[in-house]
Amino acid sequence: MLNNEKIEELCNISKRVRKNIIEMITEAGSGHPGGSLSCADILVALYFHVMKVDPQNPGWEDRDRFVLSKGHAAPAIYAVLAEKGFFPVDELKTLRKVDSRLQGHPDMKKTPGIDMTTGSLGQGISAAVGMALAGKLDKKDYRVYAVLGDGELQEGQVWEAAMAAAHYKLDNLTIFLDHNHLQIDGTVKEVLSPEDVGEKFKAFNWNVININGHDFYQIIDAVEKAKKIKEKPTAIIAETIKGKGVPFMENQVDWHGKAPSKEQAKEALNYLN
């Protein structure tokens, strides 16, 4: 049940996740804060309200699957998995360090709870399509979720996968577009505009839902709607703010792939308290 109490709980988790994102990237001295903060609420909603997962049994066959196609947002999924109990929160500070289970981009063989190795843009969505196909083949009722970046849509493989998902009528597949409008070199519009992404997915015969990606009601409502759609995959176009929650990072291209200094991190954590 989604009530005010639940929403408050999700908001509190999100706050802790954001703080952990800042702390782990600061400790690592490198990483991607902007795009981790922009998709944090979507991941929190998925792992703390939507998905069937078992932290004690990460490989559970009937679990829902998640693919972080925009793998550079690894700190966000690590913080969420730690919060959910897949591994100790303490381990987050080992991010990007030698011998760590937390690689710079998600590695399914190293980190409990990571369902697919990602990091090279455009590849995660294909794997999600494969997982959804396997679910159909085995007549299992698990669902597959993936988060993609809007810059990532410039990869042709995304559209190959979009075509295949619609062709195979994968109604057990839901992707979120973390639509924060920024990529490394500038705004997505300036670098290479994909134009109206919703219309593009519609043209590929997807069910498309537009939401605010920081509003838990809207995120969860969209997922519930997607579950009811038959014979079509769903794309949830989530409007988000890159760097969300840290005012000096919000909507700033510079914070795509840069670690904050100790002082900046302190300032960021103050905002998040």
Partner 1 sequence: MPKIATREAYGEALTEIGEKIKEIVVLDADLSKSTKTSVFAKKFPERFFNIGIAEQNLMGIAAGLATCGKIPFASTFAVFATGRAFEQIRNSICYPKLNVKIAASHAGLTVGEDGATHQSIEDIALMRTLPNMVVINPADAVETKKAIYAAAMYNGPVYIRLGRHPVDVIFDESYEFQLGKGIVLREGKDVAIIATGVMVAEALKAHEELKKENIHAMVVNISTIKPIDKELLLKAADCKAVITVEEHTIYGGLGSAVTEVLSEEKPVLVKRIGIEDTFGESGKPEELLKKYGLTVERIVCEAKKILGIKG
Residues in the site for partner 1, rule: CB under 8 A? 61, 65, 67, 107-109, 115-117, 119-120, 122-135, 137-138, 156-157, 160-161, 163-164, 167-168
- Give CA–CA dist 24/95, Å, rounded: 6
Helical (H) or strand (E) element with 149: strand 144-149
- Give CA–CA dist 111/105, Å, rounded: 11
The C-alpha angle with vertex 52 and arms to 49 and 53, in degrees rounded to 5, equals 105
Nearer to partner 1, 115 or 152 (CB): 115
- Give CA–CA dist 86/112, Å, rounded: 6
Minimum distance from CB of 235 to partner 1 (Å)? Answer: 16
Minimum distance from CB of 99 to partner 1 (Å)? Answer: 17
Minimum distance from CB of 216 to partner 1 (Å)? Answer: 28
- The tokens for 195 are 């134009």
DSSP characters over 224-269:
HHHHH--SS-EEEEEE--TTTT-TTTTT-GGGSS-PPPHHHHHHHH
Minimum distance from CB of 118 to partner 1 (Å)? Answer: 8
Nearer to partner 1, 133 or 269 (CB): 133
Nearer to partner 1, 127 or 177 (CB): 127
Minimum distance from CB of 109 to partner 1 (Å)? Answer: 6
If you ran DSSP here, which 8-state letter would residue 93 be given?
A: G
Minimum distance from CB of 89 to partner 1 (Å)? Answer: 25
* Residue with token string 């190795």: 117
Closest CA to 10 of 40, 37, 55, 45: 45
- Give CA–CA dist 177/206, Å, rounded: 13
